[in-house]
Amino acid sequence: MANVVVVGAQWGDEGKGKIVDWLSERADVIARFQGGHNAGHTLVIDGEVFKLHALPSGVVRGGKLSVIGNGVVLDPWHLLEEINTLRGQGVEITPETLMIAENTPLILPIHGELDRAREAQNAVAKIGTTGRGIGPAYEDKVGRRSVRVADLADEATLELRVERALVHHDALRRGLGLAEIDRKALLARLLDVAPHILAYAAPVWKVLNEKRKAGKRILFEGAQGSLLDIDFGTYPFVTSSNVIAGQAATGTGIGPGSIDFVLGIVKAYTTRVGEGPFPTELEDSDGQRLGERGHEFGTTTGRKRRCGWFDAVLVRQTCATSGVNGIALTKLDVLDGFDELKICVGYELDGRKLDYLPTAADQQARVTPVYETMPGWQESTEGARTWAELPAAAIKYVRHIEELIECPVALLSTSPEREDTILVTDPFAD
């Protein structure tokens, strides 16, 4: 059976939550493979709104196994709060429906404190971090001083792991003017939360490989967007993990040959939260209109998103780095009522024309977009579920995007409602 990876192909906030929820009905397992609770997915199911941060989007669907992979960094206290919130909304979450990889690194309170202290003192250029400790947790992972889920099972091991981490963190905290960590208090908090997290712990790599051999369909869910990838994003204004599709394999422990289809989620325009370059950003009435119609506020932070025209150059680039087989184009209805629409088809930099975003940060900040203009449409596309319900101008817009990004549209979303989706190609088809 086909296994599908879902990645954001812009700067995040593309509508991955709805698409993953829509696809999860066809999947047996939904696995989250990177990021932390800085991600935010909003799902609207039968009029009820579910806001997810650490949990895979498939957790709200009964009869599915949801998995948090080792590529994630996990705040255990936040996870339990999120589970309790969803239980209050009638969602059943048990060790039979949720598994956490035993080798998943934990986000500790010290990580959030360090994150916020650094951002507050960064006078050169703020990164725009959410302050939730994701970056410092990933630093500890590669620095080989993480506390991982499996460590919670043995107090002596846990104490050693905490001590190793705090030798490093106390030195950083002294430099930032922060008090040293109370070791006993931190250890006590971890021992208290341990049984609640260990109830979900499992060798996820083994479970997923067994599911694959048994012919189960696995849906791999990423967080953020490919332009925030630590290697291929607009560095340094990026997240702290690899976001592109290749991370699905290393972030869960399943081989890359097990991935059959990569679906890139793409908004019909472009948005970005936080700092960093944004070639097609609009600071005029059109940008304001996109933000208002699209309800462009971050699920996690509530921050207003920056809005701009569709950037085909960037999406073509992210489709290449993730090996995208098809895109899910979301929020087409937000463009209803515009007299004309613009699409970025290239850049100019110091008199040169470019068909990609350069790597150097100073060049990224100086590129200017080259636009094509297309007629808009006055009819409503909201809620359309077939091509026949779309205005001719909207279909032309979608088809031209396919040409420019060199990738076909597999799904088209016309509202936040789950069923308002036009299926062109089923990613799970064998």
Active site positions, annotated: 13, 41
- DSSP string for 218-273: EEEE--S-GGG-TTTSSTTSS-SS--STTHHHHTTT--GGG--EEEEEEESSEEE-
Distance (Å) of CA 423 to CA 138, 247, 273, 310, 326: 37, 26, 29, 22, 11
Q: How many CB atoms lie within 10 A of CB 154?
A: 12
Residue pair 175/127 in contact by the 8 Å Cβ criterion: no
Rounded Cα distance between 75 and 100, Å, is 12
Compute the residue count for the chain: 430
Residue pair 289/322 in contact by the 8 Å Cβ criterion: no
Rounded Cα distance between 374 and 5, Å, is 32
Residue pair 367/305 in contact by the 8 Å Cβ criterion: no
Rounded Cα distance between 158 and 113, Å, is 21
| 423, 424, 428, 430: CA torsion to nearest 10 | 140
Rounded Cα distance between 244 and 43, Å, is 22
